Amino acid sequence: MRRLIVITAALMLLIPSLISAQATSVTLGGTASTLSVNYNTATVVDPNLTITANGDITGFRVQISQTYTSGDVLGYTGTLPTGITQSWNSTTGILSFNGTTTAANWQTLLRTVTFRSTSTTCYANQRRVTFVAGLVYYNPLTSHFYEYVSGNTSWTNSYTASSAKSYFGRAGYLATMMSEAENNFVWKLMANDAWMGASDDYNYINTAKGSTVYASQSAAEGKWHWVTGPEKGQNFSNGNTPSTTLVSGMYHKWAGGEPNGTSEAFGQFYSSNSGQWNDLANSTLPGYICEYGDMPGDLTTSVTISTRNITISNGSSGYISGGDINVCSGSNSTTLTLNSMSGSVVRWESSFDNFFTAGTTITSTSTSITVTNLTKTTYYRAIVNSTSPTSCNGLATSSTFLSVKPTLSGSVFAANNTICSGGQAELTLSGQQGNVNKWQRSTDNVTWTNITNTTVSLSETISSAGTYYYRVEVQTPSCGSAVYSTSKSITVTSGTPPTGGTVSSAVHATSTNSGTLTLSGNTGTVTKWQKSTNNGVTWTDITNTTSTNSYTNQTDGTLFRAQVTSGTCGFAYSSSGMITVAPFNYSGYIYNSENTAMINIPVDIYYKTKASSVYTLLNSVSTDAAGKYTITTSLSVNLYDFRIEISNLSIPAPIVNDAQFFNQKVLNQNFAAKDYYRMDVNANGSLTITDVFLVFFRISGGISNWPNSLPKYRIFNSTQWSSINSSSSNLVNTYPGYQTITVDNLVNGSTTNFYIVRTGYKQ
């Protein structure tokens, strides 16, 4: 109960303090059970939906994310918060809310969202509804998020703008289409043509690959690559029409006669023509598609979606069991069974895009089918003629999927292809599918040495000149052999590698601020500065080659860093400096059982980033003569979480006055609830002369420790101690107290008081 009270109070106080800030982290929580609804009855999807964030949230989408059927309707019964508008798209099954408000306001509104099936009496039994934070669309086929960014713009501007965007810790990039399923999902949602992340421009290909692969445009012409996202540097199509060849294992959807031009080097996504593609010069389109998901540096601690399954009563289609699972690519066998259907099966159908487009017929009239050796994610449904509870012909069931994620090795990229002896090789794996087993290093690209590292990033110092090769072993657990990425070479020469140094930080009271940050401890030449407003997920360049950088009116948590170069030895980044606008501070008082200040009691303050689950000790403060502890920091409350802890207290043994006080209490029989904590030395639940005797025996040295191993301290929060103080009963079992007390979810500027009782003798 104590923790619940603290958390609730913290959340209530947090809302007004962050009302003007845009959230960088968010957590949605929903009901796990399946919702049963009656046909043609508007039913609230999730009245227990929870939404928390560290600031305001712009936009929400509510999607029928599985088996959307024409006639399904999402609505709401609540009142729109000020500045929020809504629209319902009956083509896509998406209810959109636009505008900015607090997480609390969103929670109140979205708890009133309703689902209603108004199609004919012949309908599929199952749906899924997904709540999505922000102005993005969630694709359950890829677990990625997509945003159509409108406004006339060129491909090059879109490339830059998308890479500066982020979605709750996920870096943005011009969208890449890796399958028909993904392609169909996107074009169904688009109103206008848009840019995507495909190009055969040799400069952008070389940048994507991290090395000079093509020396000229003529060498790169027709060699179409993804130059953005996790797939950057991957070649998917070769040749201009009429000799266009798809690269094995990849995907394209060129329109007829495309790609066709040597002066058209950038990918255009058609909103019509089933999402076909075109090559286009760097001209102007109405917008671009920004995708979020699976970038190596993504922070994925935010939970941005909540999905609930729905079953509609009195449906005639039945439901399929055996699906909604993952299977190994190329070697699998799964039986799907149609249940609770009266009538006959006309056929089964399969689809790679969850029936966004027409499915493929499977000529089986059985209620069960077995599918084998799938190599990509496939959806299945049955077409039935039902007889109960309603006669329906040609009725499609809800779909189920078999997820196939083939092991992909991905590509290794380096921050610097050439470094100097003593410098660091900084490498990143991108576009992989499966787990990283290990990294490997070689000096001849033949014999490999294992590096114990299971993350997608590797940084190590190389002390000797030469050429070094790196690769990564990737494997899907229990699904076949491991695969290796192609190797990445790093050339190490003689010279002095750069040292990034450190950028100073600054703290301000408000967002109306100005100042200068200084780079120190670096070696080499400053080539530029960079700025990040999303905790380092994406960075924006600042033209500045000096060791100082001036700023004005920065928001809380803004990061700055400098890039330093040294001849041909590559570059290094400094550590980041932060602008803090809302520094965390906290205070409270510690009293004894007589409400007297306790002096020199240590209070530890811990912190963690919101992306972390581990707290680190920041500082320890002690109570002053008034019993007050005061915590001041330079850390942002928007980027960090905090906790305080009181523990490891040490106290002296009892004195004669303690025994005399106990004796007087026992003789007078005038007990308060707190006396049981201070006086019940033998822990038998009663206050008697035996307790007094044990205190004297402890003072005289007759015993070295209390015989019942009572803790030396009991610590209480204010609510607990208030209940104890207002009672004369023994509440030891009701409020046992703590030897170590920890409080999380602290609200900036707030106060928490504690009471400390030394058990076994008087305070």
Question: What tens digit of pLDDT does each residue of 232-254 get?
Answer: 999 999 999 999 999 998 999 99
The strand pairing partners of 488, in sequence order, are 470
**6-20, 90-104, 429-443, 519-533: segment of lowest average pLDDT:** 6-20
Q: Which helix (H) or strand (E) holds 664?
A: helix 656-668
pLDDT for 712 equals 81
- Asked whether residue 489 carries a pLDDT value surpassing 50, the answer given is yes
Question: What is the distance between the alpha carbons of residues 728 and 669, in angstroms, rounded to a whole number?
Answer: 11
Question: What tens digit of pLDDT does each residue of 670-713 get?
Answer: 889 999 998 888 888 889 999 899 989 988 988 888 877 777 88
Question: What tens digit of pLDDT does each residue of 138-150 get?
Answer: 998 899 999 999 9
DSSP state of 273: G
389 prior amide bond cis, ω within 30: yes
**60-64, 225-229, 275-279, 634-638: segment of lowest average pLDDT:** 634-638
Please provide the average confidence, as pLDDT, over all residues in the chain: 92
pLDDT for 316 equals 87
Integer CA distances (angstroms), 198 to 70, 95, 743, in order: 34, 31, 50
Q: Which helix (H) or strand (E) holds 39?
A: none
Integer CA distances (angstroms), 262 to 233, 258, 270, 385, 711, in order: 20, 11, 20, 54, 81
User: For the stretch 159-173, what's the b/e string if a residue is b when 16 or more beta carbons lie within 10 angstroms of its beta carbon?
Assistant: bebbbebbbbbbbbb
Tokens (6 digits) for 486:
């192609």
- Asked whether residue 1 carries a pLDDT value surpassing 60, the answer given is no
pLDDT band per the 50, 70, 90 thresholds, residue 19: very low
Q: Percentage of residues in the chain with pLDDT exceeding 70?
A: 97
Question: What is the distance between the alpha carbons of residues 546 and 702, in angstroms, rounded to a whole number?
Answer: 73
Residue found by looking up tokens 């998308």 in the block: 162
Integer CA distances (angstroms), 333 to 89, 328, 363, 375, 566, in order: 38, 9, 18, 12, 57
Q: Which of 286, 233, 275, 232 is nearest to 253 (CA)?
A: 275
| Pairing verdict, β 277-280 and 266-269 | antiparallel
**17-26, 417-426, 436-445, 640-649: segment of lowest average pLDDT:** 17-26
Tokens (6 digits) for 382:
């049955």
Question: What tens digit of pLDDT does each residue of 352-369 get?
Answer: 988 888 899 999 999 999
In what order do the strands lie in the sheet containing 713-717?
A: 628-636, 583-591, 754-758, 713-717
Helix 656-668 vs helix 689-699: angle between axes, to the nearest 10 degrees? Answer: 170
Tokens (6 digits) for 598:
């306790």
| Pairing verdict, β 400-404 and 378-388 | antiparallel
pLDDT band per the 50, 70, 90 thresholds, residue 742: very high
**176-190, 410-424, 429-443, 620-634: segment of lowest average pLDDT:** 176-190
- Give Dmax (Cα) for the chain: 107
pLDDT for 2 equals 32
Count CB neighbours of 742 within 10 A: 14
Question: What is the distance between the alpha carbons of residues 34 and 205, in angstroms, rounded to a whole number?
Answer: 47
pTM value is 0.84
Q: What is the CA radius of gyration of the chain?
A: 32
pLDDT band per the 50, 70, 90 thresholds, residue 122: confident
Question: What tens digit of pLDDT does each residue of 616-629 get?
Answer: 999 999 999 999 99
Q: Which of 26, 48, 210, 42 is nearest to 116 (CA)?
A: 42
pLDDT for 15 equals 32
pLDDT band per the 50, 70, 90 thresholds, residue 653: confident
In order of start, what are the domains of the chain with their CATH numbers?
Answer: 22-134 (no CATH), 155-292 (3.10.100.10), 317-404 (2.60.40.10), 413-493 (2.60.40.10), 502-580 (2.60.40.10), 656-758 (no CATH)
Over residues 108-135, the mean pLDDT reads: 92
Tokens (6 digits) for 248:
């094995």
pLDDT for 3 equals 32
Dihedral sign, Cα of residue 313, residue 319, residue 322, residue 328: negative
The answer to whether 512 and 567 are in contact (CB under 8 A) is no
Integer CA distances (angstroms), 686 to 248, 385, 570, 610, 734, in order: 82, 77, 76, 47, 15
pLDDT for 327 equals 95
Question: What is the distance between the alpha carbons of residues 715 and 721, in angstroms, rounded to a whole number?
Answer: 9
User: For the stretch 2-41, what's the b/e string if a residue is b when 16 or more beta carbons lie within 10 angstroms of its beta carbon?
Assistant: eeeebeeebeeebeebbeebbbbbbbbebeeeebebebee
Q: Which of 130, 238, 237, 136 is nearest to 177 (CA)?
A: 237
Angle at 102 between CA 97 and CA 108, to 5 degrees: 70
Question: What tens digit of pLDDT does each residue of 517-553 get?
Answer: 999 999 999 999 999 998 899 999 999 999 999 999 9
pLDDT band per the 50, 70, 90 thresholds, residue 162: very high
Which residues, at least 6 apart from 416, have a Cβ–Cβ distance to it below 8 Å? Answer: 423, 425, 426, 490, 570, 571
Helix 718-725 vs helix 2-17: angle between axes, to the nearest 10 degrees? Answer: 130
Tokens (6 digits) for 614:
């581990």
Alpha-carbon torsion angle 65, 67, 70, 76, nearest 10: -40
Q: Rounded to the nearest 5°, which phi and psi values hold at 155?
A: -65, -45
- Asked whether residue 4 carries a pLDDT value surpassing 50, the answer given is no
- Asked whether residue 14 carries a pLDDT value surpassing 70, the answer given is no
- Asked whether residue 163 carries a pLDDT value surpassing 80, the answer given is yes
Question: What tens digit of pLDDT does each residue of 52-99 get?
Answer: 988 899 999 999 998 888 889 999 999 999 999 999 999 899 999 999
